[in-house]
Amino acid sequence: MNIQQIKLRYGIIGNSPALDHALEIALQVAQTDLSVLITGESGVGKEIFSQVVHSNSARKHNPYIAVNCGAIPQGTIDSELFGHEKGSFTGAHEQRKGYFEVVNKGTIFLDEVAELPLGTQVRLLRILETGEFIKVGSSKVLKTDVRVIAATNVNFAEAAKKGDFREDLYYRLSTVPIHIPPLRERGEDIFLLFTKFATDFADKYQMPPLRLLPEAKQALLSYNWPGNVRQLKNVTEQISIIEQNRTIDLNSLKKYLKGLEINKLPAIYKPEQNTDFSNEREILFKFLFDIKKDVEETKKMVSSIIQGADIKTIKRPEALTNYEYKDEPETLIKTPYEIKTNDASNDIEFSKHIEDTEEIIEENLSLSEMEKNLIIKALTKNKGKRKIAADDLGISERTLYRKIKEYDIEL
């Protein structure tokens, strides 16, 4: 089965290269028994991809079950997945088979797998490695042959760093990763999907189909779509039901797209800041060196002006005392020049015979003192709001709190 046949069978709309690439990987990995991790934002259609993998595998005639891990309470998740023995906990009136036992020889799709408790993650890791599991309240080891397809919209690297997800389980699940692109990165697919949904709802509700004006179409393509395909479908259904005028302009569309004007602006890329504790002093050192460099460049520029000074005659502004004009009339520089005034012509002459002077600057910068002053300035600027102050300083809020205590800063 090729990609176009897959799209027709599962109702996948779009010609985005990133979408086609994800489908190609799904078809290739379907022929194996490897674990698959599907990643992507909420609403991009991760469950459809799990069905594509299962229906094109050797297990397609065996059971398939989709489990939303985030919808099952933590107290019962182990029982749901692995089963329990009678009397193993309050309310366990009879023995129960878990999903891994019921779906033996088939495929289990674990949606929102990052929501699993750490204890359940250990049990899942054992199944992936050995195929063995133990029911709740039992000591008997059981075997199962289940292919696991997992999905998440969580950044596993950050979750593992925080201790919310086992790193070894992540690597075991992501034997073959499939990333589904968000809707905003699929270009013209947005308009194709809107047209498909609008046609479906027109048939369903016996209404004339919607028609988008060019400005509304452009707004659809420019919108951020945080809810992805799911949000687009909901918006299309709302417009189909509520709008009496079947020709949709930009003003009509604005009522259904929150923050449309903001999202039409070009996105500003803000690089991720490294707020590791070990980099705090490097950041401050860089800041100090930049200041020192600016001071040195200013000194060189002034010295160059002094050495190249010649007799010049310029118009004297009101109350001019010991100032020199640069090329721009608005800019004045305080100088130690000897000034000769010609009252008759209201002109000023600068003497070119100026003794060279050497400025000695004693630099006695305390890193700790500078760090403390920067923190105080940031807190004062942001009226004591630590989170905003931490962002300005390029450190984490937790680090800022520690520094406040360390320097005994009073807010």
Residue ending a domain, choose from 154, 181, 208: 181
Position 118: which residue type? Answer: L
Residue 209 belongs to a domain with what CATH number?
1.10.8.60
Identify whether 359 is part of a domain. no
pTM, two decimals, is 0.61
Same structural domain for residues 192 and 324?
Answer: no
Residues 6+ apart with CB under 8 A from 220: 190, 191, 194, 212, 253
In the three-class reduction of DSSP (H, G, I as helix; E, B as strand; rest coil), residue 95 is classed as coil
Same structural domain for residues 339 and 223?
Answer: no
Same structural domain for residues 71 and 156?
Answer: yes
Whether 174 shows a pLDDT value over 90: the answer reads no
Q: How many domains does the chain have?
A: 4
Span 246-264, average pLDDT: 77
Same structural domain for residues 321 and 410?
Answer: no
Residue 345 pLDDT: 44
Residue 340 pLDDT: 45
Which domain covers residue 233, as residue numbers? 184-264
Residue 98 pLDDT: 93
Same structural domain for residues 195 and 337?
Answer: no
Residue ending a domain, choose from 181, 200, 228: 181
Span 49-71, average pLDDT: 95
Identify whether 346 is part of a domain. yes
Q: Which position has the token pair 């004062």? A: 380
Task: Output helix, strand, coil percentages for the chain, rounded to the nearest 5.
Answer: 45, 15, 40
Identify whether 10 is part of a domain. yes
Same structural domain for residues 86 and 231?
Answer: no
Q: Are 118 and 53 in contact (CB under 8 A)?
A: no
Identify whether 358 is part of a domain. no
